[in-house]
Amino acid sequence: MKFSFSKILKEIEKKASLINRPLTFMELCGTHSQTIAAFGLKKILPKNLSLIAGPGCPVCVTSQRDVESVAGLALAGIPIATYGDTLKIFDTSVLLKKNRGSQIDISVVYDITEALRLKSQKPNLVFWGIGFETTAPMSAWAIKKGLTVYSTHKKFFPAMKTLLQNRELKIDGFINPGHVSAITGTKIYENLKFPQVVAGFEPEDVLQAISWLLDQIISKKPRVQNEYKRVVKREGNKRAQKIIQEVFEVKDSFWRGLGKIKKSGLVIRKKYRAQDAEYVYSQLLRKIRKKIILPPSACQCGKILQGIYRPQECPLFAKICQPENPQGPCMVSVEGACHIEYKYGEK
């Protein structure tokens, strides 16, 4: 489906004028945040309509406890492999800062097969699996192939429900994640009686999602709509869902900023515990975690991930905290709200 940029924008202006109050829509995917910033969409929207980033950056929502745990494994001499966007999160590790100059082996891989090849050279290699349902199937496949994984994979939908229970947060609609929805499908969102549109990643996709959200608010008929039908289906990718269910079980998980969210974590099943770094290195991890003492920080990444603060409201943003000197994961990841605002916004 093709949309006219200027036509959609005029429709948005007309619809927003019918709603005599401020509106806030939250985009739930870091790639959407990149599109919005790169094309300056916030600047051309009606004055009563604002967009705010949510917890759609998987690196950002990973708890500091997990960051320190993987850093501790590396300091203990265990080779670590992970995706490139995760690498710089080690710059925030307290344990690594305390042990500067220590020899550690951390490799960047661009797909999971590279990690499997590395394991043939380094038998005790641990792959750090980060991401939502989008990347979990690849980790599951590799676990079945014998790769040892430290899983911080998460299910995204429980976070959406948690956001709506937050009384500090005033949002009127969700722009649902396109990549996650390609795996989960749209059916999962249907019990959430709240305005939401699954969107693609072109600027026209995002604008169309905004226009449809306005329709739902005007009609007072909240529902889930799928703008990204060229990729996302109601039932999702059943093959990917199957391998996730086979290899992982669902448990509670800690999210940076959002705290403990019930049934949001993907933990490796006992059947595959020989590939579960949490099990294989359980004694070592207990010792590592006893040493973790996190100093107080002025970093407001947790509030930013909840949509309560915008990056500019953090006292460290663009002053002390910059991409080359990140103080928190929201500046580390290219999908992080602070990194995106630093790159495209007014500092």
Q: Are 23 and 47 in contact (CB under 8 A)?
A: no
Same domain assignment for residues 41 and 179: yes
What pTM was computed for the model? 0.93
Same domain assignment for residues 88 and 69: yes
Same domain assignment for residues 191 and 216: yes
Last residue of a domain, one of 226, 244, 274: 226
Q: Which of 51, 62, 60 is nearest to 307 (CA)?
A: 51
Same domain assignment for residues 94 and 139: yes
Same domain assignment for residues 122 and 264: yes
Averaged pLDDT, 331-335? 93
How many folded domains does the chain comprise? Answer: 2
Torsion of CA 37, 40, 44, 45, to 10 degrees: -10
Same domain assignment for residues 217 and 282: no
pLDDT band at residue 295 under the 50/70/90 scheme: confident
Report if residue 325 sits inside a domain.
Answer: no
Same domain assignment for residues 111 and 258: yes
Using one digit for the tens of pLDDT, what is the confidence trace for 94-121?
999 999 888 999 999 999 999 999 999 9
Handedness of CA 110, 175, 223, 154 (dihedral sign): positive
Note down the domain range covering 285.
59-155+236-290
Rounded Cα distance between 215 and 249, Å, is: 38
Using one digit for the tens of pLDDT, what is the confidence trace for 214-226?
999 999 999 999 9
Q: Is the pLDDT of residue 30 over 60?
A: yes
What are the distances in angstroms from CA 81 to CA 118, 122, 132, 171, 274? 8, 11, 18, 38, 18
Rounded Cα distance between 79 and 90, Å, is: 14
Same domain assignment for residues 72 and 133: yes
Q: Are 162 and 116 in contact (CB under 8 A)?
A: no
Report if residue 270 sits inside a domain.
Answer: yes
Using one digit for the tens of pLDDT, what is the confidence trace for 176-210?
999 999 999 999 999 899 999 999 999 999 999 99
- CATH number, position 198: 3.40.50.11750
Report if residue 187 sits inside a domain.
Answer: yes
Please indicate whether residue 36 or residue 291 has the higher confidence score (pLDDT).
36
Strands 224-226 and 49-53: unpaired
Using one digit for the tens of pLDDT, what is the confidence trace for 135-174?
999 999 999 999 999 999 999 999 999 999 998 889 999 9
